[in-house]
Structure formats: C-alpha cells, structure tokens
Structure 1
Amino acid sequence: MMFPVVDQRDREIFDTLSEVYAALRAKGYDPVNQLVGYFISEDPTYITNHNNARALIRKLDRDEVLTVMIKRYLDIKD
C-alpha cells in the first residue's frame, strides 16, 4: 500500500521521535522534558547518544516536526 508523501514523512517523524523517546527513557531521562528542551534551544546535548538518538533527531527539521505535532494534536487534516 502506498501512502502519500506527507503521510510517509509524518510516519518517519513519528518513528524517529519514538526511537529518540525510547533512548532517553532507557538512559533514565524524562523524555518529554528533554525533547522540549531540544526543540526550544536546538541544543543537541539535550538528546543522548544512546542508540544513535542524537544523530537521528538532528536529521529532522525542527519546523517540520513542530508543524506535524501541532497538526496531530489539533487533529488538522490537509
């Protein structure tokens, strides 16, 4: 089954955030707090290197991630 590019990219963002969340949790961090700190400051030290999480999240565009998150939260469909 083929998904539209937007849906596929949304899925890639979701998968990456899930992996980063799991890595932060595995290291004993508060994942939500660390992710918020990262997105506000773009300081990569908020994200652990465990399981390559820092490299993964740095591949994402912050504005694109925030756009997807807000649309999902507000259940906006384009």
Structure 2
Amino acid sequence: MSLDKTIQFNVSELKSDDTREILHSVYHTLENKNYDAIEQIMGYLLSGDPAYIPRHNDARNLIRRINRDEIIKELLRVYLQGE
C-alpha cells in the first residue's frame, strides 16, 4: 500500500453490506419458522410493526438495527441495478 495515495472510505457500502446480511438472516429465520418471508418483511416495512418478525435467532432485534428507509433503499438498488 502506497503512502502517497489517499484511500476513500465509503460508509454507504458498509451500510449496504450490513443491510444485506441482516435481510438474509431475517429471511432465512422466517423461512425456517415456515412463514412467507417476503410477506412478513413487507408487512414490517409497510407498518413498522416489529411483530411481523419473530424473536427467533434475534431476527426482530437485527432488523430493527436498520432504518426501514435504508432497507427499502437497498432493495430498490439491488432490484433496479440487477446486483
């Protein structure tokens, strides 16, 4: 690593990675509990009511760490950019 170059730190990439990891974890928890994961996450995103997400595997606390707007932003980014 050169000392002459400035490295840029991108907070939005870290947020994106955290959001993606948490969504995957919550999604798998919902599926393991035999819920329709998409419907449950959608219910949470639309209402803000954490009761749509089970406490199992700490999923409810995990998803509440991220602002719902950030989750929607990440979902749109992945959908529209095809990532």
TM-score normalised to the size of structure 1? 0.88
Identify unmatched segments of 5+ residues in structure 1: none
How many residues are paired up?
A: 75
Pairing 1:1-78 to 2, within 5 Å after superposition: 4-75=10-81
Task: State the identity %.
Answer: 39
Larger Rg over CA atoms = 2
The aligned amino acid for 2:62 is L
TM-score normalised to the size of structure 2? 0.83
The aligned amino acid for 2:34 is G
Spell out structure 1 runs of 4+ moving beyond 6 A.
Answer: none
Identify unmatched segments of 5+ residues in structure 2: 1-6
The aligned amino acid for 2:65 is K
Q: Distance in 2 between matches of 1:23 and 1:68?
A: 20
SS of aligned partner of 2:78: helix
